[in-house]
Amino acid sequence: MIHQAASKPPARNAGGEKQPTRAEPTSRPVFLLLERGSSASVPIKVMRQVDEIVWLLEDTPLFVAGRIRAATERYIRAIVPPCWPI
């Protein structure tokens, strides 16, 4: 998921659609699902917004679940104040 700071108006592309941006260091984790060989067609602008890449036909469900859990825990630690127990 991509989160945009509320203080800035959303960027728009030529079609008038909202452009996702990584405006805060505490942005929600972003996963990109790819098949081998298709990564060359992904624009560098998109790749810079991605935290994790999931290779559809290569990564096991258990491995992907572990990556999602780790990214979720990093996100929670980044947004929860230090005095709150996690």
Question: Residue 14 and residue 30: Cα distance in Å, rounded?
Answer: 24
Average the pLDDT over 57-79 and give the result: 92
CATH of the domain at 75: 3.40.50.2300
Residue 85 resides in a domain: no
Looking at per-residue confidence, does 36 or 4 come out higher? Answer: 36
Residue 32 resides in a domain: yes
Residue 49 resides in a domain: yes
Summarize pLDDT for 6-61 with one digit per residue, the tens. 444 555 656 566 655 555 556 789 999 999 888 888 999 999 999 899 998 899 99
Residue 23 is predicted with a pLDDT of 52
Total domain count, the chain: 1
Residue 6 is predicted with a pLDDT of 40
50 neighbors 32 (Cβ within 8 angstroms): yes
49 neighbors 22 (Cβ within 8 angstroms): yes
27 neighbors 3 (Cβ within 8 angstroms): yes
Residue 66 is predicted with a pLDDT of 95
- What is the separation of C-alpha 74 from the centre of its chain, rounded to a whole number of angstroms? 12
Containing structural domain, residue 69? 11-79
Terminal-to-terminal C-alpha distance of the chain: 22
Q: What is the pTM of this model?
A: 0.60
